């Protein structure tokens, strides 16, 4: 159990009993109660919020508890007084409930809770704020001063804006215009936190293109993300190529087909699509020496590295050795000696 669960249990002076799986005398009792609620109370009802759910449940409980239950021999309402006398009194201090989080308020002065965005007074931008929420309200406090108080919304993907926060943000933008230096320093911090150095170097050039070509915000964001993803793919491919331990770096584009006259270009081009890797098949090049079988194998393996696959290159003399754990988990194109490609089944 978590520390919050232990704190809640300790304040109430109770203990938690963990039921065994499929225990009809313990877990089964709880599940039967839940099943009765699902079949007798929930059908045909709709709820706007947890408060609405509790209100409807409160109106339904006297009807359900007033019915005579065969296992009890009476109605549950007849046992309420006796049960209350056996209960401990509630503690003088109520246990802490709800949801809380501490975070640094971003520049857009909104905090997110359950996929919904709630506005905060922009004076707290860049400072640590405490966000607390219960079933009815969402509150934000900065240095003991409340900077937001919203009714909690139970829909999804909503933006809840306080008109006072919107007007304050407009006023602050006019009074304290954002300097280029301030934005640059913040971008440097954010890209360093995200470990996106390529984005940091490219954002200025992309911003200039966005202004000149009148990009939308979405187009500018897509261009930034595409630049970072492309750089990560390229860097990842280089890392996988180094880890493969190729004796020399050779590509399929550099292969001399005039030297290997019996080789079909279309067949090699098809192998270059790496469909045999997707189909979990092997590619073996057979032929006399000095027909550039290793060149073809290396070219296919490098293309596989660039496509995101991990490769381990092994010389022919090492093929007979017991493979290590890494080589068992990788598909490698091996040159074994007319140069052609044959599937192995």
> How far is 324 from 305, CA to CA, in rounded Å?
19
Name the nearest CA neighbour of 49 among 134, 161, 139, 117: 134
Give pLDDT tens digits for 272-294: 888 888 888 888 888 887 778 88
How far lies 325's CA from each of 52, 281, 315, in Å? 58, 19, 17
| CA atoms of 12 and 158, how far apart (whole Å) | 36
Q: What is the pLDDT of residue 96?
A: 79
Task: Output the six-digit token pair for 321.
Answer: 């050795």
Tens digits of per-residue pLDDT, 1-49?
Answer: 788 888 888 888 888 888 777 777 777 777 888 888 899 999 999 998 8
What per-residue confidence (pLDDT) applies to 42?
A: 93
Contact 51, 135 (CB under 8 A): yes
Give residue for tokens 């006796």: 82
State the alpha helices, DSSP H only, in 104-255: 163-175, 180-193, 197-213, 217-244
CB-facing half-sphere around the CA of 247: CA atoms within 13 A? 8
SS3 210: helix
Instruction: Give the pLDDT confidence of 168-177 residue by residue, as tens digits.
Output: 988 887 776 5
Q: Where are the beta strands (DSSP E) in the chain?
A: 99-104, 110-113, 116-119, 128-133, 137-142, 145-151, 159-160, 282-286, 334-335, 340-344
Q: What is the mean pLDDT of each run of 10 residues along the chain (345 residues)?
A: 82 82 76 87 90 92 89 88 86 84 88 92 90 92 94 90 92 68 75 82 85 87 84 75 84 80 82 87 82 86 84 66 47 41 39
Coil/strand/helix, residue 104: strand
Tokens found for residue 129? 């704020």
Distance of CA 309 to the CA centre of its chain: 22
Predicted confidence at residue 327, as pLDDT, reads 43
SS3 99: strand
Q: Which residue has the tokens 């059908």?
A: 43
Q: For residue 136, with 0-12 CB atoms within 10 Å meaning exposed, 13-18 middle and 19 or more buried, which class applies? A: exposed
**Which of 233, 264, 249, 245 is CA-nearest to residue 272?**
264
């Amino acid at each position: 159990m978590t520390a919050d669960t232990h704190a809640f249990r300790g304040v109430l002076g109770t203990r938690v009993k963990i039921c065994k799986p499929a225990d009809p005398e313990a877990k089964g009792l709880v599940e039967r109660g839940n099943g009765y609620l699902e079949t007798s109370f929930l059908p045909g009802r709709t709820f706007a919020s947890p408060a609405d759910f509790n209100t409807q449940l409160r109106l339904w409980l006297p009807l359900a508890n007033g019915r005579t239950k065969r296992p009890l021999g009476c109605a549950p309402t007849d046992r309420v007084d006796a049960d209350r006398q056996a209960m401990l009194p509630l503690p003088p201090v109520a246990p802490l409930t709800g949801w809380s989080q501490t975070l640094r308020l971003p520049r857009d002065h909104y905090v997110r809770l359950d996929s919904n965005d709630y506005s905060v007074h922009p004076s707290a931008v860049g400072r640590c704020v405490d966000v607390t929420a219960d079933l009815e309200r969402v509150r934000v406090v900065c240095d003991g001063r409340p900077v937001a108080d919203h009714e909690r919304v139970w829909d999804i993907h909503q933006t809840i804006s306080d008109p006072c926060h919107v007007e304050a943000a407009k006023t602050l933008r006019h009074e304290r215009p954002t300097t280029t230096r301030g934005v640059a320093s913040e971008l440097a911090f954010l890209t360093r936190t995200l470990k996106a150095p390529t984005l940091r170097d490219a954002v200025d050039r992309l911003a200039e293109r966005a202004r000149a070509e009148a990009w939308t915000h979405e187009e500018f964001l897509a261009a930034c993300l595409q630049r970072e993803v492309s750089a990560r793919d390229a860097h990842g491919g280089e890392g996988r190529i180094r880890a493969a331990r190729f004796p020399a770096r050779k590509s399929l584009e550099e292969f001399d087909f005039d030297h290997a006259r019996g080789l079909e270009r279309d067949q090699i081009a098809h192998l270059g699509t790496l469909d045999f890797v997707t189909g979990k098949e092997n590619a073996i090049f057979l032929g006399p020496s000095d027909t550039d079988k290793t060149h073809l194998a290396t070219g296919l393996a490098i293309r596989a590295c660039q496509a995101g696959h991990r490769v381990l290159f092994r010389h022919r003399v090492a093929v007979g050795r017991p493979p290590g754990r890494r080589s068992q988990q990788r598909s490698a194109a091996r040159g074994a000696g007319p140069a052609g490609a044959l599937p192995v089944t």
